[in-house]
Chains A and B, each alone.
Chain A
Amino acid sequence: MSAALQTIPAMILMTGALVALSGALLGTFLVLRGQSMASDAIAHAIVLGIVLAWMLTGARTGPLSVAGAALAGLASVLAAQALARSRLMAHDAALGLVFPAMFALGVLLINLNARNLHLDADTVLLGEIGFVWLHTVMILGFEMPVAAATLAVVALLNMGFVVLFWKELKLASFDPGLASALGFRPELLGAVLLALTSVTAVAAFDAVGVVLFMAFLIVPAVTGLLLSRRLWAMLGIALVSGLVSVGAGYGLALRWDVSIGGMMALATGGGLVLALMVAPRSGLVAALIRRRLMRDEARLNTLLIHLSSHSGTPAQAEECTEVAFIDHLHWSPDTVRQVILAGLDRGLMRREGRLFALTSAGAARAVMLIRAHDRRRALPPEE
């Protein structure tokens, strides 16, 4: 009994980790190619493929089912592309038209065959990774969930694809025009990527449901994209973020007694929020620092211009003092002290008793600023 309890969490975590692994491998390239929403279409369209394969062959799982689902997923994206090419509607409208229709047909067929087909439309949508240990197989003497075994095969397939075609995928993602000119057939590579996404979605939906699979495809990849501009680093971050989400989501789900698959998918959002904070270029922290630097620079410029316009005039004795900076520029004493220190440090001004004066460098900078300002004002408004 205690052995079983110890293996159930292991089985759940293993299944989740395999979903995260495949999701990161494929999602990175889907996100780079601007096809995130194609995964939405695939996730919904495979349902029709599974049902049709069952109606034609009677197989609810296995290679035929996977093949049918993969074809349906690929067909949804290609059909939307064909509709968009006819220029009768925009591409996003075509996508939003094709996959709901396919999904609707799938759900309707499930409803109509509910008695014979052991497939619940809610399960397709939501999945439940907590129950993967109910269906197990023995592989090499290990008891493995069927879902994990399937996912392991699919993950190997995905890994093989990414490793073998790394250079081609990289080129096709960043410069499809060049890839095409060099004879790499980026559209064929894209179709294979979509087909693999469909296959993976089929393998994953028993565990996490089709929509939650989307979270593992897109969110870790976007996290990687925010944090790095290098493909291998982006993929690495996506992998780590996906795997950590599986562990964290499992822990939180047990603690709060909620859906394990849902919590794992939601946990990917944690990594994203973190990335949004600390991303080197577009992150919140980076933006705050940038804004702070710009504000300090603008204050220093203001002070330089103030000094420049009053030095050598009769008002100099009154205007070029710390008190004047506080009263006339309406800055707090602390701010004024900071700006003065910055100006002194950078050799743009110097202290002469109670008064402050510009150094030659400071004077030159003030003149430049005033000229730039005048130039901007003199230009016609549409420039």
Chain B
Amino acid sequence: MSFEVSHTLMTVALAALLIGGLAGVLGSFLVLRGQSLLGDVISHAALPGVVAGFLMSGSRSFVAILLGALVAGALAGLSVQLLRRGAGLKSDAALGVVLSLFFAAGVVLYSVAQGRPGAAGLQVFLFGQAASVLRSDVVAMAVVAALVLGVIVALWKEFQLISFDPEGARAAGLPVERLETLLSVLVAVAIVLGLALAGVVLMVAMLIAPAVAARQWVNRLGPMVVLAAVFGAGSGMAGAVLSALGTGVATGPVMVLVASSVVAVSLVLAPGRGVLARLAMDRRARRSLHRRQVLEVMAGLSAEHANPAYRSEETMLDAYLGTPARPVLQRLEREGLIRQVPHGPEGRAHWELTDEGQAGDRA
């Protein structure tokens, strides 16, 4: 029993690792080229292909279903292009039309398939069910994934150029349209491979989330793709194993929630652009501004009173700054630019510029 469980778990984990990694790599290009929602459309549009593949092959044949999904996904991508270029529709309208019509076709075909034997297996493609993946499926996935990665490595420079500078690529004489089509086909392949795990509705998140998370940490394409693959593989594996342990829990949602958490953590922690980094930057900027304001005010008062060591009252500095000046004053004191002096009968705190402070070190 325990051997069987671990055997199934191994298969599931391996498949999720492959799919998550592949989706991360291709998602990076999708996100950088501003085509995230095209991934959504292609994955929804795969539904009629999945069912048509099932109806034609008469069984839950992995290859037939994947081929059907691929053809439907490619047709959907092509339809979006035609509606935009041919009919002049805005991109969001074209995407919405294709998504909803292909999905409607999928629902109609699904109702046809429901009477057939073995149709219950189709349900896994809606939300994904990791346990439905067989060992032989994993071998097929690995072969296809290796092919896709091979193409990306071979055409790395070209894909890099069309992602960042399509005009430059065209000027350099690259066949940009053909490369873009190839990239879209590779994306469709990755989506289709992941359907059994993540489902048609949620596969898009497995493309986008790892890429967006990786983008927060690095600024170069190479590291971004590698990091997205790692994030995708990690969240895929974690999600698949978690859902396989629970009963009656679809895999897609768990994978997507893990991947979304990775994005949330990245948005908070990322160096340079994350929420925490921005807060720290704001704090540094505020401190430096306050420091300069206090020095300016004290120098101004000194000049006004023709007394380089004029003693400014702390409450007055509070009023100038608009917030309690004490922390700023203490930092300046540590720097040796000002010092506290007792003054007046009330003994209220007063501050004067040191020689160093008078020298005008206000940087």
Contact = CB atoms under 8 A, between A and B. Distances in A.
A39 B37 CA distance: 13
Contacts of B339: none
A211 B44 contact: yes
A283 B88 CA distance: 10
B3 to A, nearest CB: 27
Given A104-B252, A108-B249, A212-B107, A90 B92 contact: no
- Among A96, A122, A269, the one with the most B-chain Cβ atoms within 10 Å of its Cβ is A96
Given A36-B92, A95-B37, A100 B107 contact: no
A218 B101 CA distance: 10
Given A96-B36, A108-B249, A266-B105, A211 B256 contact: no
A112 B254 CA distance: 12
A101 B36 contact: no
A89 interface: yes
Nearest to A223: B97
A103 B256 CA distance: 9
Given A89-B215, A218-B96, A225-B93, A104 B253 contact: yes
Contact of A209 (B107, B123, B256): B107
A269 B101 contact: yes
Nearest to A273: B101
Contacts of B202: 100, 103-104, 107
Q: Which 4 A-B pairs have the closest CB atoms?
A: A262-B107, A36-B96, A100-B205, A259-B111
Most buried by B among A97, A126, A266: A97
Interface of A is mostly: helix
B136 to A, nearest CB: 27
Nearest to B86: A282
A276 interface: yes
A122 B205 contact: no
A103 B127 CA distance: 11
Contacts of A89: 31, 212, 215
Say what secondary structure dominates the interface of chain B.
helix
7 contacts: A36-B92, A39-B96, A44-B201, A100-B204, A104-B256, A211-B107, A272-B101
A352 B215 CA distance: 76
A112 B123 CA distance: 18
A268 B126 contact: no
B107 A126 contact: yes
A111 interface: yes
Contact of A215 (B90, B101, B249, B257): B101
B108 A263 contact: yes
Interface of B: 31, 34-37, 39-40, 44, 86-90, 92-93, 95-97, 99-101, 103-112, 123, 126-127, 201-202, 204-205, 208-209, 211-212, 215-216, 248-250, 252-254, 256-257, 260, 263, 267, 273
A37 B37 contact: yes
Interface size class of A (residues with CB under 8 A): 35 or more
A114 B248 CA distance: 9
Contacts of A88: 212, 216, 267, 273
Contacts of B201: 44, 100, 103, 125
A339 interface: no
Contact of B36 (A95, A126, A253, A256): A95
Contacts of A281: 88
B88, B93, B100, B260, most chain A CB atoms within 10 A:
B100
B208 A211 contact: no
A218 B260 contact: no
A121 interface: yes
Contacts of B250: 107-108, 111, 121
Contacts of A95: 36-37
Given A40-B99, A92-B35, A259-B108, A100 B93 contact: no
